Chain A
Amino acid sequence: MTQPRSLISLWLPYLATERVERRDPALAGVPFATYVESRGQMILAAVNPCAAGAGLTPGMSLANARALYPDVTLRRADPPAERTVLESLRDWCVRYTPWVALDGADGLLLDATGCGHLFGGDEAMLTDLAERLDGIGFTVRGARAETPRAAVALARFGDGAAAGGILRERLAPLPVEALGASVEAAAGLHRVGLHKIGDLYALPRSSLATRFGLDLVTRLDRALGDLPDAISPKPHAAPYRVRLSFPEPIGTPEDIARGLHRLLTRMTARLERGQRGCRRLTLSIYRADGDVRSLTVGVARAARDPHHLARLFAERLASLDPGFGIDSMVLAAPVVEDMKAEQRESRLNGASEGNGRTRTGREGDPEFYRLLDRLAARLGGGRLLRIDPLRSHLPERAGRFVSVFQSTNAEPTHAGGTGAGGGDPEAPPWPAELPVRPSFLLTMPEPVEAEDSRPEGEGEPTRFSWRGRWHEVDRVMGPERLSPEWWRPNDEARLRDYYRVESRTGQRFWMYRNPLQRNANTATGDWFMHGLFG
């Protein structure tokens, strides 16, 4: 005989306003509402009880609300923050039962089956929940029922009084909206005089489904427990953290390395079980004198090979001062990512290849990423750079460098960019019809002192001085006009005319000047050196 299920639904009708009032208690006693922009109009998103008492309702336009009650305090709604609050309440509810799920934007659903007795019964548990939530500033309406859908309906539409009894009878007086079906379905039911859930009991399911949709019937069956209904709680995520304590403090480098090796073995075994790989690892040592020292390594791609990770630490383990001895060591992986099991590459593959060269250094080769990690351990992750294929008119923007630890080839999309170059890894990063570009670009355009072929300074340079050396100009190719990207905010770039300038020795430079901006006071300074051709 299975125990009947016990579901608790919590509804926080004033979550949005109470979130703000908790930080700003002065708002609690006055009419206060949040608003959002919807179709070009400002409308109220949530109101507090005081504002509701004054006649304000969510969905009302801001102008109407102000006309009705001029002193109302208004704040812009922040749905992500509201969700964060709800999620932290969900995590807090784990003290009652491990099965807690979010219910919409303002509710929680707890499967308390078999947990109630720990709190003196289901009803006592519900009271305890409501009291504690009230204590931290949240109004809550809760209900308990045998199915999730019924619990939600009772919490949101019930009077909160009838606690026990048969489920069908408890649901019967609730309005049909309590089932949570579509607005159209509810309106249709009202049209034919079916106002309460109890009115639906007697009707044949098939005709209900034909007229009002299968969804309504499914919801009714779920509420009554005729169809199974599950809740989806957040899976419990244990932090990836392993610890090693020593009976006697240790201090020699060999012992530390051995300890680290043990921790890594345990950590990587856990990562492998969870099909995870770490992006960052922190080793903390707890010294006998109470001091804590730590060391962090990062990897370019999720990794869980203990030998590889040990090598990354090996470079810097000596910098960890053990003091008078180490009591315990803790290894934590604060950043983990999904990582599928990978096939170990056979050593024979490369050697047995008869025709062609050994296939080394392929893109996506895990060895390559291991090399990057080792280099980063000494150079620093910010010193290993990849060229970000960003499409931009502005030369310096098109050739931006980013750390390999930020961009990966697997996902060329990048935050902050225009996104034109991202998305499809197969697509060429730059347009094919681009005029000739130099292979090397100067970090900053450098001013060039040039002698012009025409005295008024409108022609081409005949010789120029750059970095203290004079170059005789043999040929000038161009110009190519590049305009600034006016659609970007704070873009200070000006119109530029780029020329390829060849010196008498054959060196080729990429130089530009700003046209239409002759400065009469400075004879020079019009030209800038920007790139070098191989």
Chain B
Amino acid sequence: MEGMLNRSASLRAPTSVREEPLNEAHAEGGRRVLPADLRRKIAAIEASGGKGAGRCLSTGVTALDASLPGRGLALAAVHEIQGSSAAGFALHLLASGLSNEECILWCVPEGRRDHLYGPGLWQAGIDPRRLVVAVCRDREEMLWTVEEALKSGSVAAVVAQMDKDRSWGGPVSGKPVDLTASRRLQLAAEAGGGLGIILSEGGGALSPSAAATRWCVDPAPLSDTRDRACWQIALLRVRGGAVPDKDWRVRVDRDGRVSI
């Protein structure tokens, strides 16, 4: 068992075949190995290489952190957020996870009619002076921008607002990032060590992806009118961990305190 693990570590297999040793172990040994246990070991080995790998950012919500493998949002990885409050939740993650000197690149498609708003960002806990917005002509250019920025490792987080508009519960307007593209982004994030966040607010159909997590965040009515935000959060996919079968309702109050 030990030897097998070392072999897989020395191979440093690309993302696509990473899960194979796990299946092999099952078939070959026939011993009772807890998959969760093994997954954790493999994750630990994977974490030993690459910049920022294995490190996590707190989501600011204890219950959410607890259901993620590294007790937080993995760095050097790409995360997907869906739903019409995806952008708001992404801002919350950036505000709670990053220090106030770290730079953020925020990519938007040309022609999008709602843009980040300075005073609002400031209230959400992000100093707009450390944020740069890149306006991309098309999808291809945005993927290039995100990949380039992640690979360089010189920005703490890259957020891509893939869709031109958020879905208002209406017809599907977005197109998901396909597997190849998400793999490229994941590899770029591993090389650079930053955090990649892909927002598909258009409510596009689910597609297979190499992202570390996939969330769905929808707005929820405020319980107190003075609160800043309230979301219905579901975790749809976790790489190297089990998907919890429940939703959370998370509220952010006026002072930025988070509760469930």
Give the distance in Å from the alpha carbon of A125 to the alpha carbon of B40 in the complex: 89
Query: What are the residues of chain A within 8 A of B117 when measuring CB–CB?
Result: 395, 399, 437-441, 531
Q: Which residue of A lies closest to B227 (CB)?
A: A436
B153 at the interface (CB under 8 A from A): yes
SS of B interface (majority) = mixed
Query: What are the residues of chain A within 8 A of B119 when measuring CB–CB?
Result: 395, 398-399, 430, 434, 437
Query: What are the residues of chain A within 8 A of B197 when measuring CB–CB?
Result: none
Give the distance in Å from the alpha carbon of A368 to the alpha carbon of B153 in the complex: 8
A2 at the interface (CB under 8 A from B): no
Evaluate contact between A379 and B136: CB separation under 8 angstroms. yes
Q: A125 to chain B: closest CB distance in Å?
A: 57
Q: B52 to chain A: closest CB distance in Å?
A: 5
Give the distance in Å from the alpha carbon of A469 to the alpha carbon of B170 in the complex: 8
B246 at the interface (CB under 8 A from A): no
B177 at the interface (CB under 8 A from A): no
Q: Which of B103, B122, B222 contacts A361 (CB 8 A)?
A: B103
1/0 contact string of B21-63 vs chain A (CB within 8 Å):
0000000000000000000000000000001100101000000
SS of A interface (majority) = mixed
Query: What are the residues of chain B within 8 A of A275 when measuring CB–CB?
Result: none
B169 at the interface (CB under 8 A from A): yes
Also in contact, A360 and B52, with CB within 8 A (given A367-B152, A371-B152): yes
Q: Which of A385, A446, A504 contacts B132 (CB 8 A)?
A: A385
Evaluate contact between A379 and B134: CB separation under 8 angstroms. yes
Q: Which residue of B lies closest to A467 (CB)?
A: B168
Query: What are the residues of chain B within 8 A of A351 when measuring CB–CB?
Result: 51
Q: Which of A368, A475, A477, A507 contacts B84 (CB 8 A)?
A: A507
Give the distance in Å from the alpha carbon of A401 to the alpha carbon of B133 in the complex: 9
A387 at the interface (CB under 8 A from B): yes
Query: What are the residues of chain A within 8 A of B152 when measuring CB–CB?
Result: 367, 370-371, 374
Give the distance in Å from the alpha carbon of A439 to the alpha carbon of B155 in the complex: 21
Q: B105 to chain A: closest CB distance in Å?
A: 8
Q: B20 to chain A: closest CB distance in Å?
A: 29
Give the distance in Å from the alpha carbon of A444 to the alpha carbon of B229 in the complex: 24
Q: B204 to chain A: closest CB distance in Å?
A: 18
Give the distance in Å from the alpha carbon of A409 to the alpha carbon of B179 in the complex: 37
Give the distance in Å from the alpha carbon of A273 to the alpha carbon of B141 in the complex: 38
Evaluate contact between A505 and B169: CB separation under 8 angstroms. yes
Q: Which of A358, A389, A471, A502 contacts B51 (CB 8 A)?
A: A358
Evaluate contact between B132 and A439: CB separation under 8 angstroms. no
1/0 contact string of B104-139 vs chain A (CB within 8 Å):
110000000111111111111001111111111100
1/0 contact string of B151-190 vs chain A (CB within 8 Å):
0111111000000001011100000000000000000000
Evaluate contact between B129 and A360: CB separation under 8 angstroms. no
Give the distance in Å from the alpha carbon of A506 to the alpha carbon of B83 in the complex: 13
B196 at the interface (CB under 8 A from A): no
Evaluate contact between A363 and B130: CB separation under 8 angstroms. yes
A53 at the interface (CB under 8 A from B): no
Query: What are the residues of chain B within 8 A of A443 when measuring CB–CB?
Result: 113-115
A474 at the interface (CB under 8 A from B): yes
Give the distance in Å from the alpha carbon of A378 to the alpha carbon of B142 in the complex: 11
1/0 contact string of A417-452 vs chain B (CB within 8 Å):
000000001001110001011111111101000000
Q: Which of A358, A399, A446 contacts B55 (CB 8 A)?
A: A358
Evaluate contact between A532 and B154: CB separation under 8 angstroms. no
Evaluate contact between B128 and A360: CB separation under 8 angstroms. no
B69 at the interface (CB under 8 A from A): no
Give the distance in Å from the alpha carbon of A24 to the alpha carbon of B117 in the complex: 53
Evaluate contact between B121 and A439: CB separation under 8 angstroms. yes
How many A residues touch B, CB cutoff 8 Å?
A: 63
Evaluate contact between B52 and A357: CB separation under 8 angstroms. yes
B209 at the interface (CB under 8 A from A): no
Give the distance in Å from the alpha carbon of A127 to the alpha carbon of B228 in the complex: 80
Query: What are the residues of chain B within 8 A of A362 when measuring CB–CB?
Result: 101-103
Q: Which of A375, A383, A409, A467 contacts B148 (CB 8 A)?
A: A375
Q: Which of B102, B144, B156, B225 contacts A378 (CB 8 A)?
A: B144
Query: What are the residues of chain A within 8 A of B91 when measuring CB–CB?
Result: 439, 534
Q: Which of A330-379 contact B (CB under 8 A)?
A: 350-351, 357-358, 360-363, 365, 367-368, 370-372, 374-375, 378-379
Evaluate contact between A370 and B121: CB separation under 8 angstroms. no
Q: Which of B87, B128, B135, B148 contacts A371 (CB 8 A)?
A: B148
Q: Which of B175-221 contact A (CB under 8 A)?
A: 192-194, 218-221
Residue among A368, A386, A398, A428 having the largest count of chain B Cβ atoms under 10 Å? A368
Query: What are the residues of chain A within 8 A of B51 when measuring CB–CB?
Result: 350-351, 358, 360
Evaluate contact between B135 and A429: CB separation under 8 angstroms. no
Residue among B122, B169, B170 having the largest count of chain A Cβ atoms under 10 Å? B122
B149 at the interface (CB under 8 A from A): yes
Q: Which of A443-485 contact B (CB under 8 A)?
A: 443-444, 446, 467, 469, 471, 474-475, 477
Query: What are the residues of chain B within 8 A of A440 when measuring CB–CB?
Result: 87, 114-117, 120
Q: Which residue of A lies closest to B84 (CB)?
A: A507
Query: What are the residues of chain B within 8 A of A502 when measuring CB–CB?
Result: 221-222
Give the distance in Å from the alpha carbon of A430 to the alpha carbon of B91 in the complex: 18
Give the distance in Å from the alpha carbon of A196 to the alpha carbon of B51 in the complex: 81
B230 at the interface (CB under 8 A from A): yes
Evaluate contact between A430 and B118: CB separation under 8 angstroms. yes
Evaluate contact between B156 and A386: CB separation under 8 angstroms. no
Query: What are the residues of chain A within 8 A of B221 when measuring CB–CB?
Result: 474-475, 502, 504, 506
Known A-B contacts: A386-B129, A388-B118, A438-B117. Give 13 more (CB < 8 A): A357-B57, A360-B52, A361-B157, A363-B102, A371-B105, A378-B144, A386-B131, A395-B117, A401-B115, A439-B88, A439-B124, A443-B114, A443-B115
Residues on B lying within 8 angstroms of A by beta carbon are: 51-52, 55, 57, 75, 84-85, 87-89, 91-92, 101-105, 113-124, 127-137, 141, 144-145, 148-149, 152-157, 166, 168-170, 192-194, 218-222, 225, 228-230, 232, 254
27 residue pairs from A and B, CB less than 8 Å apart: A358-B52, A360-B102, A361-B155, A362-B102, A368-B155, A374-B148, A375-B134, A375-B148, A384-B132, A384-B133, A385-B133, A386-B129, A387-B118, A387-B128, A409-B129, A429-B118, A429-B127, A430-B118, A436-B254, A439-B88, A440-B115, A440-B120, A442-B114, A475-B221, A502-B221, A506-B230, A508-B219
